[in-house]
Homo-oligomer: A and B are copies of this chain.
Amino acid sequence: MKTVHVNLGNRSYDILIGAGLLERSPDLFEMRGIRKRIFLVSNDSLFKLFGKDLLEKLQENDYQVTEILIPDGEKYKNLNTVENIYTYLIAQRADRTSTLAALGGGVTGDVTGFVAATFLRGIPYIQIPTTLLSQVDSSVGGKTGVNHMLGKNMIGAFYQPHLVYIDTETLSTLSQREFQSGLYEVVKYGLIYDQPFSELVRDSMEDILERTPTVLERVITRCCEIKAEIISNDETERDLRRILNFGHTFGHALEAAAHFQGMTHGEAVAYGMIAATHLSVMEAQLDTSVADEIIRNILQVGNLPPIHTLHTEDILEAMSRDKKRLGNQNFFVLLRAVGKPIVTGDVPEKALTEVWEETKRVSASASSRG
């Protein structure tokens, strides 16, 4: 088991990473002084896979555990689900000493964290992420929240968990596509922060894709370390934390232009990173041979759904909508080199058009090879 400490003063906490951690839950809770009343938030399928065993294990150790099952999927990440959980918690007489535990992917974690942040003005919560994406990304850092009809993640709070623990064995049940989607975020950490790690990921890609436990543990741990360092310096995303959005300004626009269909978030971010790499050559003096290698590393993860059939104008239009929403400015994370990010404001629309045309060419040539 590896431990990553997130240093945030009196809101500090540990991230534990290892195979078989779920079984050790009672000890992990005990060591951190978690009280005996637990509400386990999960969805139907994950509860069957892991939740039921976890619940029984905890009950055997005198924890009073109640499950709260919520529907799965981004479209249920809303205030309605949040309100249902409040109602249930009140009916079950949850109090300020009760702890919420989120067992699942990003939706479960974000919703549970937001309920924890806002029930009785804040109660403790634990993240038990089961997807690669949530293990390296959303479960760490205290970003909680839900979507509003008019926009994703518009409602939320920064609220840190008391503990995050990552059982790498849960990854064995992920589909290959879901696993690869998380891997793009792994690649991202190397690119924005750690050149040697970037090389390690590149060189271990085969083992990673085979989900070799020791390799997974090492890779996930490093991602969590990097994220912990970044958020320890900038908990509420005023500056440094923005570099985590590498590929995301482009990726969001792509998701919107594709009407969130046929593409996972990770895949959109993959294309977004390719686009950001092109822009880095144009605006941040990134060496073209380095850019080519970055793009190869991204494509090495697996096949991406084709995007060259999308209209560039539609993607630019989506970027412009994002821009208006964000106070009339887009932010782009660019790379001067691997591990050397810069954040920049707006770039000329002409450059963006060029970047998308380049990115679509990558998609077209990858598809023709694929």
Contact = CB atoms under 8 A, between A and B. Distances in A.
A79 B78 CA distance: 13
9 contacts: A90-B151, A93-B324, A93-B325, A95-B326, A114-B118, A119-B154, A120-B154, A121-B156, A122-B236
Given A97-B327, A325-B95, A90 B121 contact: no
B91 A157 contact: no
Contacts of A325: 93, 95
A121 B236 contact: yes
B327 A118 contact: no
Contacts of A150: 87, 90-91
A119 B86 CA distance: 19
A122 B90 contact: no
A145 interface: yes
B157 A122 contact: yes
Given A87-B148, A87-B150, A150-B91, A121 B157 contact: yes
Contact of A155 (B96, B119, B151): B119
A161 to B, nearest CB: 15
Interface residues of A, number: 36
Contacts of A117: 118, 157
Interface of A is mostly: mixed
Nearest to A143: B121
Interface string A76-117: 000100010011001101011100000000000000001001
Interface of A: 79, 83, 86-87, 90-91, 93, 95-97, 114, 117-122, 143-145, 148-151, 153-158, 236-237, 324-327
A175 to B, nearest CB: 30
Nearest to A145: B121
B118 A155 contact: yes
Contacts of A79: 79, 83
A83 to B, nearest CB: 6
A327 B94 CA distance: 8
Most buried by B among A121, A144, A153, A236: A121
Given A87-B150, A148-B86, A157 B97 contact: no
